[in-house]
Amino acid sequence: MTYLSEHFTLEECYASNVALRKGINNKPPQPYIPNIERLCQKVLEPIRNFYNIPFRPNSVYRSAELNREIGGSTESDHVQGNAADIEIPTVSNYDLAIWIKNHLEFNQLILECYTLGNPSSGWVHVSYCNKNKNEVLTFTKGQYIAGLNP
């Protein structure tokens, strides 16, 4: 195991059931590993420390082939290891998005597929890169809306 921060490993950041099932090599190239490490240290670790609840990030690094296979955006931050989709057990995804918005620097924060009244619905996409723009969006009913709008 290669730890990139106190609680997160490189291996869990590129693990993918879809890649395994489809025989896709999803191991990140060496130049993207510093991006994944920075995301772990600047975003995932502060979230883990605040909530003190173990969680496994979903879909941190995605190879271009895997990203195509799952229908990801061709400009996805996941393809360079700059993004994570996350959920934390017992924490509302809306509350998680609010906490990130108020406490962390990020490039993009998206509350995805969240349904008001169903705290565990959807997930939170967050990215971090060299030039963060702190863009906040909600993705619902097939469209992006500015801000956090459950």
Q: What pLDDT score was predicted for residue 16?
A: 96
- Percentage of the chain exceeding pLDDT 70: 100
In this predicted structure, the answer to whether residue 111 has a pLDDT above a threshold of 90 is yes
Confidence of residue 116 (pLDDT cuts 50, 70, 90): very high
Q: What pLDDT score was predicted for residue 128?
A: 98
Q: What pTM value is reported for the model?
A: 0.95
Q: Compute the C-alpha angle 61/7/139, nearest 5°.
A: 45
| 78 within 8 A of 61, measured Cβ to Cβ | yes
Given this structure, which CATH class describes domain 10-146?
alpha beta
Q: What pLDDT score was predicted for residue 150?
A: 79
- Percentage of the chain exceeding pLDDT 90: 95
| 14 within 8 A of 61, measured Cβ to Cβ | yes
Q: Are strands 135-140 and 108-112 parallel, antiparallel or unpaired?
A: parallel
C-alpha distance across the termini of the chain, in Å: 38
Per DSSP, what are the bridge partners of residue 125?
85, 110
Beta strands in 93-132 (DSSP E): 108-112, 123-127
**For range 59-77, the mean pLDDT:** 94
Which ranges in the chain belong to alpha helices (H)?
10-14, 17-22, 33-39, 45-51, 64-69, 93-103
What are the phi and psi torsion angles at 27 (to 5°)? -75, 130
In this predicted structure, the answer to whether residue 27 has a pLDDT above a threshold of 90 is yes
